Structure formats: C-alpha cells, structure tokens
Chains A and B, each alone.
Chain A
Amino acid sequence: MNDYIPSITADVNLDEGNLVFKLVVFTGNLDKAGLDSVRTKVEEVVDSIESEKFVVFDFDKLEFINSESIGFLLMLHTRLVKKGAKLVVVRAIDRVKDVLDVIGLLKIMDYFPTIEEFKKSL
C-alpha cells in the first residue's frame, strides 16, 4: 500500500566542525520514520559537546520536516541552552524554512542561509 519510503541520514562532519561548533548534515525526510532512525545519533552529538558553543544543522538536503521533528529540534535547543550552547540551522530549502518559520522556531533559534554566513557571525 505504502510506496513512499521515508529515508534520512544524519552525517556528523568532523572536518568542517572545530572547537567552536559541530556540524550535522541531514539528507532526506524528517518524518515520523525518519526522526526515529536518526534520533539517537543526533542526541549523541548534542550530548557530546564540551567546549563547542554551537551545534549546526545543515538542512540543504533535507526535503521534509514534520512537527514532531520540530519538537525534537526544540528539545535539543533547550538542552543546549542549559549547557551554555545553541542550536543553529543553516541552508534550509524554502519548504522546510517556511515550516520552521511558520511554527515560530526561527524566533528562538538562529538561522543562516549559508555556513559561511554563520562562520562570519562568530
């Protein structure tokens, strides 16, 4: 019946990151099945930060995000703020950015159109 197969990968780019931030690149769909498959990995990244001040989520190749995943981002952001850090989103495609914007997430979380602009802001 269901020929739509959700898929997602979350790659931690250690070369790109440094002592200031950790970068996680998402590819695919963050729907129910997608979220379940990357939840633990992403949480581990967030929990593993020490001296870093930011965890950067690169959404360039993220095609879809549902409200549960946004709740997950909110939870991660809250967790990071308690540790004195922040969650930052970069390069979301219009559809994904609109959803983040509509729900009001970008009112409490920083967003940059490119990684370079984020780096400039440091």
Chain B
Amino acid sequence: MFSVDQNVIGVEYFFGTLIVFLICFFGFFYLEITQPLKIILKQMKALLTGKPYMRIYTKRMDEIGIIAHFFNEVTKSFEKVSLDIKEGKRMLGELEIAGQIQKDILPPDNPKVPGLLIVAKNRPAVELGGDSFDFITKGDNTFIYVGDVTGHGVPAAIVMTMVNTLIHTFVDVYDNAFDVLVNTNKQLKLRIKSTMFMTLLMLRWNSLTKKMSYTGAGHEHLMIYRVKLGKCEMRQSGGIALGMVPDNSLLIKEVNIDLDEGDTVILYTDGITEGRNMAGELYGLDRLKASVEQFAGQYGPEGIVNHVAQNYSNFVENHIQDDDVTLIAVQIKGDKASDEGNSAGLLSTAWNPAATEKK
C-alpha cells in the first residue's frame, strides 16, 4: 500500500508539475511571442492596406526584436521616399513654372519688321534651355540675336534671362550692337561664375538705310545665302563669348554685310551642328550648309527653316538630343516675297519640323 500510495503521489505530482509547466509555458509563449507578433502583424497589416501605422517600440534583441526593428527601418525608408517624392513633385512644379517664365521671355511669334522676313524656331532639350533669341525694334533699328549659354537647365536659363534683360535695357540706351554687347558683357561678367559664358550673334537691321550689320560674341558661323549665286557664304562670327573677360570692347566689332534682295541670313546654335545620329555622327556644319543651299533656292524663310529642321530630324532620327536647338532665317524682303511676309509674321517660334508635311 505504501508503495502504491507513493506511486499515486508521484503520478499526481508529475501531472501537477506538468500542468503548471504547461500553463507557464503557454503563458510565457503568449506573452513573449504571440502577443508581440500580434502587435507587429497589426502594424504590418495597417502598412499593407494603406492605413496609418505606428512605430514598434521594443528593447528585445531576439528574433521578435529583429522583426520589429526591420519593420521600423522599412517604414522609416518609406517615409523618406515618400518625402523625396513630394519634394521632387514640388521641384518639378517649380521647374515647370520657371520653364514657362523662360518661354514667355522668348518671343512666341515671329515679328513683322519693315524690309525683312524673319522666321525662328526653337526647341529646348529639357524643361529649361540655354538657347536664347529675340527681336527688338527701337526706332529704325531692329536687333535680332541668337545666343547659347554653356550647358542647359536652371543655371543656363538664369544666365539667358539675365542677358535678355541686359540687352533690352541697353538697346534703349544705345543705337548700335557694339555698345549694347560691350555693356551687356560688363554687367554679366560681374554676376556669373567663371565657368559660365554665353555665345551670341547679333544682327542689326536699319529699316531706313536698309543696311544690315552683325556683331559676334564667340558664336557659331554666320551663314549668308546669296540668292544670285545659289550658295552660302560662311563667316566666322568672331569676338569672344559674353562673360569670359571683364571688358570685350577690344575683342568684338560690328561689321556691315552687303545684302541683295532675296538674300537670307541664317543664325543657329550648336544644338544643330552637334546633333548626333544613332551611329554617333555629328550633323555638322557641312550638312547644315548643304541643307540650306538645297532649300533656300525654292522656299522663303519659313520653308527654309521647316525643311532644314526636317532634314536635321531625319538625320538624328530617334537619338536623344541633349542640347537645345535654335534656327533663324532672316530674308531681305524682295517684291516677290512680300506676300509671304504676312503669314510669316504670325508663325509660332516653337520647333515643329512636321510643319513641312502640311505644305
């Protein structure tokens, strides 16, 4: 009996201990594993379903602690990315506004100038471009310029805006391109860092004397299509780019050009000559010259610009161009061309090579 009782007590003791152990085990399991996992899962569900979630606070260093820490880190990254996206959107919005301001500075339509037919086309490579052009008439003088700031994007757009304002200001004061550009350079150099500059070529047309002159500031060639010869004359624009030296008065000069009725002066930026095709070849000056010679005999300035633009687009195909493109044709109005002048004056300056297809 004694031994049996001893056995019963032993079994009861065993089961009692087992039950206590199990209660403790499950209690521990619930409190230490299930409950924390529930908290983590609740926050994970909230994250996955797009509901508000909270950071999980724990000092644990075990697997649960790692999962909680991982969740906190992941959500922290999400929050940063989300902030970056918001900031990116804000900056894009501001860039769009800046781009619009720049577009508003460039003349939207081609001007009507007595004695001239002018057609310009411009396409910035990114939201903000470094190319610039304008037509400013003051008294008998009309100033036509094309310019290109180093690089593109925001810094180039700011310099381009500065130069445009300075030129407008000095055209009001001086009656020649030399003084306008000497003073523009002087003011520009004081305000820009030494890696930036702007090449520029300015024409001045006097509608009374019917004389044209050009002043180069380190820009691309001046191209003159001589209608009698059916050929282009190329002249180096000369001078030095604006913003390179504090005083450019000994380095630039205003030069007269003798032009006949029907002759066309072509201005462009290096976005055209440095346009590359899929094979990496440059469009180049020779192709531009050949293209102008091909079309200038058949068309007025609008046709020249549209067909040359189309020729350029056909050459570069789908190769992404990383520079702005500007092309301007200025024709000395002959009797024959007088009708085209009415429509040319209403043309938009936006780049649209497809316009040739409508002809």
Alpha-carbon gap, A107 to B244, bound state (A): 10
**A interface, size bucket:** 20 to 34
A3 neighbours in B (Cβ, 8 Å): 278-280
B306 neighbours in A (Cβ, 8 Å): none
A108 neighbours in B (Cβ, 8 Å): 240, 244-245
B199 neighbours in A (Cβ, 8 Å): 67, 102-103
Cβ-based interface call for A71 (8 A) = yes
B-contact bits for A55-69, CB 8 A (1 contact / 0 none): 000000000001110
| B319→A71 contact, CB < 8 A | no
Across the interface, name the chain A residue whose C-beta is closest to B240.
Answer: A104
| 12 pairs, CB–CB < 8 Å, chain A vs chain B | A2-B319, A4-B276, A70-B150, A70-B197, A71-B195, A74-B194, A74-B195, A102-B221, A102-B236, A102-B237, A105-B240, A107-B240
| B151→A67 contact, CB < 8 A | yes
Across the interface, name the chain B residue whose C-beta is closest to A99.
Answer: B270
Q: How far is the CB of B154 from chain A (nearest CB, A)?
A: 14
| A67→B240 contact, CB < 8 A | no
Q: A66-B274, A102-B236 are in contact. Are A71 and B218 (CB under 8 A)?
A: no
| Beta-carbon contacts under 8 Å, A1-44 to B | 1-4, 32
B-contact bits for A78-114, CB 8 A (1 contact / 0 none): 1100000000000000000000011111011000000
Across the interface, name the chain B residue whose C-beta is closest to A106.
Answer: B240
Of the candidates B218, B236, B240, the one having the most CB atoms from chain A within 10 angstroms of its own CB is B218
A102 neighbours in B (Cβ, 8 Å): 199, 218-221, 236-237
Of the candidates A2, A32, A72, A103, the one having the most CB atoms from chain B within 10 angstroms of its own CB is A103
| B318→A67 contact, CB < 8 A | no
| B240→A78 contact, CB < 8 A | no
Cβ-based interface call for A45 (8 A) = no
| A1→B318 contact, CB < 8 A | yes
Q: How far is the CB of B63 from chain A (nearest CB, A)?
A: 46
Cβ-based interface call for B309 (8 A) = no
| A71→B219 contact, CB < 8 A | no
Q: How far is the CB of B149 from chain A (nearest CB, A)?
A: 8
Please give 9 more A-B residue pairs, beta carbons under 8 A apart, in addition to A2-B319, A67-B150. A2-B320, A32-B322, A67-B270, A70-B197, A71-B195, A102-B221, A102-B236, A103-B240, A105-B240
| A68→B150 contact, CB < 8 A | yes
A78 neighbours in B (Cβ, 8 Å): 194
Alpha-carbon gap, A2 to B278, bound state (A): 7
| B251→A104 contact, CB < 8 A | yes
| B195→A75 contact, CB < 8 A | yes
Across the interface, name the chain A residue whose C-beta is closest to B221.
Answer: A102
Of the candidates A4, A71, A108, the one having the most CB atoms from chain B within 10 angstroms of its own CB is A71
Q: How far is the CB of B318 from chain A (nearest CB, A)?
A: 7
Alpha-carbon gap, A78 to B238, bound state (A): 22
Of the candidates B217, B221, B244, B280, the one having the most CB atoms from chain A within 10 angstroms of its own CB is B244
B111 neighbours in A (Cβ, 8 Å): none
A67 neighbours in B (Cβ, 8 Å): 148, 150-151, 197, 199, 270
